[in-house]
Chains A and B, each alone.
Chain A
C-alpha cells in the first residue's frame, strides 16, 4: 500500500497513525520504536503544558466561588497568560541552595517528584488503543509508583535542613502512607468487578459505570485521592499557619515550580483515574466504536473528547471542594482514615466479594448492578447510623467525660514530648 495524504490525515484524526504507517511501510521494528518515542514525548509534554491551563482554571474558578474576578490583566480580559508570566518569573529566578542543605537529597527531590508524576500516565487509557502501555497490572503499577514517590517528599524535607520542612515532610508521609490503604481497598472493588487489574479491561467492563454499581467505593476513592494529592481539606502538608509551607519551604525558583507542577499533574491524573475506574473512562453509549463512511474510525477521537470531559468534570469537583471546605486537623485526618475509612472499605470489599459470588451468573448485568447498588446504599446507611450514634453519645456524655477526653489528649502530647526527649 502506497502513501496517501488523505488516508494519512484521516488516520491522524482517527488517532491510529502508527497502524496506518504499518500498513504503508510494513510491520517494522523502527515504526514501533518511533511511535513509542513519539507517544512518550506527546504524553509527557501534554502533562507538563496542561498544568499552565490547570493553574489558570483553578485560580479563576476559586475566584468566582469567592466572589472575586481572579486573573484579568495579563493576556486579555480573562487573564489567560497569567500563568505563562508566572512560569517565566519562576524560570528566571536565582537558583539557591540553602546553607547546610544535603545537596544530593535537595537536588534529587524535585526531579523524582516530577518523574513519578509523569510515570503513572503510562497506563491511562485516553481512548481505545490510545494508551502508553496496557499492563495487566495497570492499577497496581499506579499504586506502586505513587507509593514510591513518597520518598521524594522525605528527601526534600530532610535535605532542606529546616525544621519546618522536616515536620512538613513527616506530616506528608504520615498522611500519604495512611491514605494509601483505603485507596487500595477502594480500588480493589472495581478490580473485583472487572476481574482484571488492567485499566483497559476495567473500562471495557463498565457497561454500567461503576459509580452506579459501587458508589461507596467511588466516594472512598475520591476522599483518599484528595488526601493523596494533598489538596483541601487535606492540605495539612502546606498549612501556612502551622508549618510555614511544608516540605518545600526552602525551595525557590523552578525547583519549587517542579513540586507545584507535580501536584497539579497528580491531581489531574487522579481525576482521570477516577473517570477511568468509576465513570466508564472513554466510553459513552458506544460512541467509541463509531465508524464514519465505512472505514473511517472517528470514534477514537470522539471518545478522547468524552474522556477529557469526564476528567475535567472530576477535576472541577476537586476545585469545588477546595473552594468550599475548611481544613481538617492533623489528628482528625488520621482518625478519620484508620477508624472510619479503612473499616468501611474492608466491609465493602467483603460484601461485594460475597455478593458477586452469590448472585447467579446468568442474572443480567442490570439486575446484578442494582443488587450491588442496594448493598452499597445499605452499607452507607449503616455506616452513617453508627457515626450518628457515636457522635450523639459523645455529645450527651457527662462533662466529666469531656474533661477526661481533654486530659487524654494532653497526656498523649506529653507522651510524645517524652519520646522526643528520649530520642535525643
Chain B
C-alpha cells in the first residue's frame, strides 16, 4: 500500500465514522460537532485530490459558516443542556427509497467517470515531460479556475446567476430586517 492509500483509508474511515455519529448521537449539539468533523474529513479528501482551494472553501463555508448557523439554530430552539432526542423516527421507508435512488445516481455517475478516467490518466502520462506552457497552468489551478469563472466558454453564466441569487438573498435579508413603518409609531 502506498502512503496515499493509507491516508485515504484513514480519511474515509474518519469521514464515514463521524457521519454515522451524526445520525446516531442522541445529543443534538454533539451531532452538530460530529457533522463538523465530517466536513473536515471531506476537506481532507479534497486536499488529497490536489484541490486545495476547494478544501479551504469547504473549511470556510461549511465549518466556519454553515455549522455555526446550525449550532446557533440548535441553541436558540432547544433547551440548552441535555438535549437528548431520539435518533430514529418513523420515516424509514421513505428514506430508504431516497437513499437507494441517491446511491444509484452516484454509482451511475462514478461508472461514467471511470470510462473517462483512463483517458485523463493517459493525457497526464502524455504530458509527463512537461512542456513549459503546461507547467504554469498546472501550478496555478486557482488562476485557471478564476479564468474559467469569467470565461464566456466556461462558467460565466452559472457564476453570474449565482451572484444574482446571492445578491437577491442579501437584499431580501435587509428588507426582512428593516424596521416597519407602523412599528416606529407605536
Contacts and interface: CB of A to CB of B under 8 A. Distances in A.
B29 A158 contact: yes
Contacts of A102: 29-30, 81
26 contacts: A102-B30, A105-B33, A108-B33, A136-B52, A136-B139, A137-B53, A140-B57, A141-B56, A143-B56, A144-B57, A144-B59, A144-B60, A145-B59, A147-B59, A147-B64, A148-B59, A150-B64, A150-B68, A151-B64, A151-B68, A154-B71, A158-B29, A158-B75, A166-B80, A180-B64, A423-B76
Interface string A130-170: 00000111001101110110110011001001000010000
B42 interface: no
A137 B81 contact: no
A105 B29 CA distance: 9
Contacts of A145: 59
Give the interface centre of A154, A173, A411 by most chain B CB atoms within 10 Å: A154
A177 interface: yes
A50 B57 CA distance: 31
B interface, how many residues as a size bin?
Answer: 20 to 34
B57 A155 contact: no
A244 B63 CA distance: 28
B184 interface: yes
A76 interface: no
A361 interface: no
A151 B67 contact: yes
A197 interface: yes
A145 B55 CA distance: 11
B139 to A, nearest CB: 7
B152 interface: no
A100 interface: yes
A148 B60 contact: yes
B81 A100 contact: yes
Interface string B142-186: 100000000000000000000000000000000000010001100
Interface of B is mostly: helix
Interface string A389-424: 000000000000000100010010000000000010
A135 B63 contact: no
A180 B60 CA distance: 11
Given A105-B29, A155-B33, A161-B81, A144 B56 contact: yes
B51 to A, nearest CB: 10
A133 to B, nearest CB: 10
A104 interface: yes
Interface residues of A, number: 30
Given A102-B29, A104-B30, A404-B184, A143 B60 contact: yes
B63 A197 contact: no
Contacts of A411: 183-184
Interface string A232-266: 00000000000000000000000000000000000
B68 A173 contact: yes
B77 interface: yes
Contacts of B89: none
B122 interface: no
Given A102-B29, A105-B33, A137 B56 contact: yes
Contacts of A100: 81
Given A147-B64, A150-B68, A151-B68, A408 B184 contact: yes
B63 A148 contact: yes
Interface in B69-93: 71-72, 75-77, 80-81
Interface string B40-70: 0000000000001100110110011101100
A137 B52 contact: yes
Interface string B119-153: 00000000000000000000111100000000000
A136 B33 CA distance: 30
B170 to A, nearest CB: 11
A220 to B, nearest CB: 19
Nearest to B79: A424
B36 A151 contact: yes
Given A147-B60, A151-B67, A423 B77 contact: yes
A161 B59 CA distance: 27
Nearest to A177: B68
Nearest to A140: B56
Contacts of B142: 136-137, 197
A148 B81 CA distance: 23
Contacts of B76: 423
A136 B141 CA distance: 9
A143 B61 CA distance: 11
B53 A140 contact: yes
A105 B32 CA distance: 11
B82 to A, nearest CB: 9
Contacts of A104: 30, 33
Q: Which 7 A-B pairs have the closest CB atoms?
A: A147-B64, A144-B59, A144-B56, A144-B60, A148-B63, A148-B64, A140-B56
A155 B30 CA distance: 10
Contacts of B75: 158, 166
A174 to B, nearest CB: 10
